[in-house]
Amino acid sequence: MKNIPLILMGVGGVGRQLLQHIVSCRSLHAKLGIHLRVVGVCDSKSLVVASDMFSMGIGDDILLEVCRVKLDGSSLSTLSGSGEFQIFMNSEMMKKMIDVAALLGKSTGLAFVDCSASSETIGVLNQVVDSDCCIVLANKKPLTSTMEDYNKLVSHPRRIRHESTVGAGLPVIASLNRILSSGDPVHRIIGSLSGTLGYVMSEVEDGKPLSQVVKSAKSLGYTEPDPRDDLSGMDVARKALILARLLGSHINLDSIKIESLYPEEMGSSVMSTEEFLGCGISLLDKNIRERVYQASLNGKVLRYVCVIEGSRCEVGIQEVPKNSPLGRLRGSDNVLEIYSRCYSEQPLVIQGAGAGNDTTACGVLADIIDIQDLFS
């Protein structure tokens, strides 16, 4: 049986779903000759570490209790157990993770899985790379930090997986890596990489006001609690930056041209979420309606896309042909068109669910299994 020890950072929606998948897939993984041994789980304030990291890990009953505790909004420090684990808080937590990395990284091997949405994990990840640990990311922030941080994390390509940073469970990164490693140069990528904005743009195409569509998307759970976090385009920009850097661009987030769907005077420092949804967003309906109409006159539709071509990297609303993969996109699916020497006339198209805790957690789990050959 091949053992893969791992530490999970972040037990929000994706992290909890990942733990549940790990537990529910025990019999499947056993048939594959794999055992995922969770030796540590942490949130922003507490770290739970197995008392026996070398052979046992944290029991499945405790992992499911972790999920219940975090779903209730409680701290991991409230967990109770009979000597199965230890709990470390705040500054002690970071030091313990580094110690565990040094202990297991060069012996049994260790995977650090970042399912948080925090930039606070970057320092830890940069250090554990030096202990030969593997890195699996759903968190986009480590790969969209400085070029120095990025280069450090990807310095050992075989030991990092980050499929879920761009397309949740879609094989975007793997497909690009296969194309690039074959010597086929990618010269253009265009895609809709936000399930929220994909839904919004396809709905306004049907004549619905932007304000109504955004409120509906929020009620359906498609948006963040403050929809401006989606409408700003920043999440798409981070995904675009990851793709651009994968293609070899040495750029930072501030190099990307980002079109926000709302003006600065409607930002969170000026308007509350309630004010924005109550009276602010309706002021944006007219402009979007006119842009939808103008696109239809040109035989096109509007989509919120990222475009990467040469030194150009930008995200925003663009007119696209109705009969293209992007033009046919409906609902909250993601779609990416990749153009290269081999895929010049007809692009490689990757399409499917690109968001959701379940889908993203499945992508993370697949990435963990993909690094099994690095473990004994």
Which residues are known to be catalytic? 239
Known binding residues for L-homoserine are 224
Q: Which of 64, 25, 52 is nearest to 108 (CA)?
A: 52
- Single-letter amino acid, residue 183: G
Residue 77 burial by CB count (10 A; 0-12/13-18/19+): exposed, middle or buried?
A: middle
User: Two tokens at 302?
Assistant: 């509007």
Q: What are the strands of the beta sheet with 134-137, ordered from one edge?
A: 85-89, 46-50, 34-42, 2-9, 111-114, 134-137, 160-161
User: Two tokens at 220?
Assistant: 């359906």
Query: Which residues contact residue 218 at a Cβ distance below 8 angstroms, ignoring those fewer than 6 apart?
Result: 227, 277
Q: Which of 366, 279, 374 is nearest to 29 (CA)?
A: 366
Radius of gyration of the chain (CA): 22
Angstrom distance (rounded) from CA 17 to CA 210: 32
Known binding residues are 10-15, 140, 224
Known binding residues for NADP(+) are 10-15
